[in-house]
Amino acid sequence: MATFVLIAGACHGGWWYAPLAHRLREYGHRVFTPTLTGLGERAHLLSGTVNLDTHIEDVLAVFAAEQLRETILVGHSYGGMVVSGVADRAPESVDALVYLDAFVPDDGDSCWRLTTEEQRSWYLDVGETGFAVPPLPFYDRRATPHPLASLLQRVRLTRDLSAFRRRDYAYALRWPTASPFEPTWRRLRTDPEWTVHELDSEHDLLRDAPDQVLKILLDAAA
């Protein structure tokens, strides 16, 4: 039995992982799908002070409360920033990392620095609040505005990822425009320390490639 902690991307909550979490539990694994502060059922906590550090602390709090060890951390999209920060601060609790069409930052990187101009234009469409990025029109109706500060803040990393047993990266091949994750994919696909998967999918991997994602996670737990 493995323990998975699944972190969703911008504007999404733990609900996004529900079908995958159900299937992993059928295989006997423990699964946690925390919703980050200001999102989903925690949207009432959204404020201009919620940033990347807040979201990293959200996950570290789950680790502490549930006494988690040898965790497989999974991050989709923006969730890759959170996963990287958590792994850096609590390496003793992490066994493996899986990035699902996600950012894999170095120290000092931010979503703003790593993404495309198209995505930056979206970030700056902060609507009425001035500090929250609205969900895109094609998102699930449960999507909620995302705290801008978390996309702008630079991550602080003090170690690389080489200490972890396994690192997987799943890249979606069917972005309708330029993928903000293409530079990450190109960097990792030639790195022998990473297992890179190329999926015939748009960015919503759980909608377009659920079986492939499940297999990646089960292999990571093997």
Average pLDDT over residues 17-27: 98
Amino acid 128: pLDDT: 82
Domain count, the chain: 1
pLDDT band at 197 (very low <50, low <70, confident <90, very high): very high
CATH code assigned at 34: 3.40.50.1820
Percent of the chain with pLDDT over 70: 100
Tell me the whole-structure pTM to 2 decimals.
0.97
Domain range for 205 is 3-221
DSSP characters over the chain: --EEEEE--TT--GGGGHHHHHHHHHTT-EEE-PPPTTSGGGGGG--TT--HHHHHHHHHHHHHHHT--SEEEEEETTHHHHHHHHHHH-GGGEEEEEEES---PPTT--HHHHS-HHHHHHHT--TTTSSEEPPPTTS-TT---EEHHHHHSPP--SS-STTSSEEEEEEES--SS--TTHHHHHHHTT-TTSEEEEESS-S-HHHH-HHHHHHHHHHHH-
Question: Across all residues in the chain, what is the average pLDDT?
Answer: 97
Average pLDDT over residues 189-213: 97
pLDDT band at 129 (very low <50, low <70, confident <90, very high): confident
77 is catalytic: yes
77, 84, 93, 179: the active-site residue: 77
